[in-house]
């Protein structure tokens, strides 16, 4: 006998397994994705929460609709067979067959029940993402207001409390007045004796702000001073000073570069006099001279 002779229809084991997998299987996968995103970014972006929820719901809906269509086709076929048997039984005076129970209604009830907990979870994630975004927006507004009154206040406070790495990271995170932030970061690194990192900042400023002649000139001058006084590369410093005179001649850094060039030439003349007098001088090794030069191309490499 066909299944339509029972008073109510219950999903088959295959139908129930599909509903369970498409609801709680996707729920488990979504939970794993949310955990990964939270670890990587601390908070889940709105678009990520919305996309995961949409994909999970779309997949579950597609499975449910497929099962609904199949069940509806089976019920239509069962009703056609029921009509034939009903007419035959009525004509023969026999007991009438039981009318088939609707299959689609029960399937939809099962689908709604299995989707209830995942739906609450996805809604909670969306609300959390929206609320976090709102809090971050308010914090950004407050931070901007603070920075207007005291530029780079947060980075300076971190430096005062000894968190130099945190301060440097904060300086890099500023989206306004980035040039000034990087200059402050470089000077902080200099005071901490981290000359290699300070030099990298000056190289970065020079590369990023080539069109700002004054900023470029200051970055080049500070860079030249470092490689001269700290790394002992007089020739490299002289090349940078000459470049400043050539490209930023109308700025105050050209005057400073000219003064430094005069000092470099004076030191060279004194060295030549000592050599003529028999003074023994050990030239620095090539690797000592170039160790401060970064691998990436920059102003010092001839650009």
Mean of per-residue pLDDT scores for the chain: 75
pLDDT at 189: 92
pLDDT average, residue stretch 244-268? 81
Range scoring the smallest mean pLDDT among 102-106, 274-278, 298-302? 298-302
CA–CA separation, 245 and 253 (whole Å): 8
Evaluate whether 190 touches 159 at the Cβ level (below 8 Å).
no
Is the pLDDT score of 146 beyond 70?
no
Range scoring the smallest mean pLDDT among 26-35, 148-157, 246-255? 148-157
Is the pLDDT score of 281 beyond 50?
no
Look up tokens 């000073």; give the residue.
241
What confidence tens digit (pLDDT) does each residue in 25-66 have?
A: 888 888 888 777 765 555 667 777 788 888 888 888 888 888
What confidence tens digit (pLDDT) does each residue in 173-227 have?
A: 888 888 899 999 999 999 999 999 999 999 999 998 888 999 999 999 999 999 9
User: pTM higher than 0.75 for the full model?
Assistant: no
pLDDT at 200: 92
pLDDT at 186: 92
Nearest one of 247, 246, 192 to 215, comparing CA atoms: 247
205-237 in b/e form (b: 16+ CB < 10 A) is: bbeebeeebebbbbbbbbbbbbbbeebebbebb
pLDDT at 202: 93
pLDDT at 43: 61
Report residue 143 as tokens: 């931070």
Look up tokens 């470092």; give the residue.
226
Evaluate whether 133 touches 48 at the Cβ level (below 8 Å).
no
Name the pLDDT band for 108 (thresholds 50, 70, 90).
Answer: confident
∠ CA 133-134-137, rounded to 5°? 85
Is the pLDDT score of 138 beyond 90?
no
Helix (H) or strand (E) holding 11: none
Evaluate whether 209 touches 215 at the Cβ level (below 8 Å).
yes
Report residue 108 as tokens: 């939809």
What confidence tens digit (pLDDT) does each residue in 58-102 have?
A: 888 888 888 878 877 777 777 788 778 778 877 777 777 777 666
69: helix, strand or coil: helix
Please tell me which of 132-141, 200-209, 289-298 the model is most confident about, judged by mean pLDDT: 200-209
113 vs 183: which has the higher pLDDT:
183
CA–CA separation, 117 and 114 (whole Å): 7
pLDDT at 223: 92
Report residue 225 as tokens: 């001073």
Work out the angle between the directed axes of helices 46-92 and 13-20 (0-180°, nearest 10). 160
Evaluate whether 146 touches 117 at the Cβ level (below 8 Å).
no
pLDDT average, residue stretch 241-249? 90
Please give the distance of CA 125 from its chain centroid, rounded to a whole number. Answer: 19
CA–CA separation, 256 and 248 (whole Å): 11
Q: Which residues contact 250 (CB under 8 A, 6 or more apart)?
A: 213
pLDDT at 295: 43
Evaluate whether 122 touches 116 at the Cβ level (below 8 Å).
no
CA–CA separation, 67 and 75 (whole Å): 12
């Amino acid at each position: 006998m066909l299944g339509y002779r029972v008073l109510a229809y219950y999903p088959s084991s295959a139908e129930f397994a599909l509903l369970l997998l498409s609801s709680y299987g996707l729920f488990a996968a979504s939970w794993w994705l949310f955990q990964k995103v939270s670890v990587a970014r601390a908070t889940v972006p709105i678009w990520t929460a919305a996309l995961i929820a949409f994909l999970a719901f779309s997949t579950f809906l597609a499975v449910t609709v497929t099962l609904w269509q199949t069940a509806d086709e089976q019920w239509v076929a069962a009703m056609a067979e029921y009509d034939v048997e009903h007419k035959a039984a009525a004509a023969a005076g026999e007991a009438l067959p039981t009318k088939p129970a609707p299959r689609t209604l029960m399937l939809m009830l099962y689908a709604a029940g299995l989707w209830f907990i995942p739906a609450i979870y996805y809604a909670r994630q969306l609300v959390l993402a929206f609320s976090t975004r709102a809090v971050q927006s308010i914090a950004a507004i407050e931070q901007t207001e603070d920075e207007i009154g005291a530029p780079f206040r947060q980075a300076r406070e971190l430096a005062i409390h000894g968190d130099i790495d945190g301060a440097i990271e904060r300086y890099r995170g500023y989206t306004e007045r980035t040039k000034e932030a990087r200059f402050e970061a470089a000077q902080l690194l200099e005071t901490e004796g981290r000359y290699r990192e300070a030099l990298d900042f000056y190289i970065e400023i020079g590369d990023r702000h080539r069109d700002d002649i004054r900023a470029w000139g200051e970055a080049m001058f500070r860079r030249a001073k470092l490689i001269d006084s700290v790394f002992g590369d007089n020739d490299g410093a002289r090349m940078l000073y000459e470049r400043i005179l050539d490209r930023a001649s109308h700025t105050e850094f050209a005057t400073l570069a000219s003064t430094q060039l005069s000092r470099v030439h004076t030191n060279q003349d004194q060295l030549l006099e000592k050599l003529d007098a028999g003074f023994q001088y050990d030239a620095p090794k090539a690797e000592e001279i170039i160790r401060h030069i970064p691998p990436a191309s920059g102003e010092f490499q001839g650009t």
